[in-house]
Amino acid sequence: MFDIYFVFFARLFKAWQRGAKWPRRFIALGVSILFVAGIFAGLSEIDLRFVSIDKSLAAGLAVFGALILLAVSAQEQLQEVEKSQEKIEQKEEQVRANPEKPQLAWDLAGAS
């Protein structure tokens, strides 16, 4: 049940660890927007005399922040798939270049 959340946060964590500037900025932006959405959601429950905060504003911010984080996670997955494809293509090229040389099955399977 929690596998999809685990994978989502693992990809975000991996994108953060890579140290690239833009994924870190988008992750920080998404988390910040979600934090502000949580504050607005809490304030919408309180009856404030001068300020009226609608729950739809908090919900809209939460969706926007979640979409930013989802985009970063999807980008990280795309990069993982591309790296995997490159490894497979390298192994296939090695097999084509040396067809007489036997390749171990786990070497070929390890490329994927």
User: In the prediction, which pLDDT does 100 show?
Assistant: 73
Burial of 33 (0-12, 13-18, 19+ CB in 10 A): buried
* Confidence (pLDDT) at 104: 60
- Model pLDDT for residues 59-105, shown as the tens digit of each residue: 999 999 999 999 999 999 999 999 989 988 888 887 778 777 766 65
The residue that leads in pLDDT, 20 or 1, is: 20
What integer pLDDT is reported at residue 38 of this predicted model? 93
Per-residue b/e over 81-98, b at no fewer than 16 CB within 10 Å? Answer: eeeeeeeeeebeeeeeee
C-alpha dihedral over 12, 14, 17, 22, to 10 degrees? -50
d(CA 40, CA 53) in angstroms, rounded, equals 7
* Arithmetic mean of pLDDT over the chain: 85
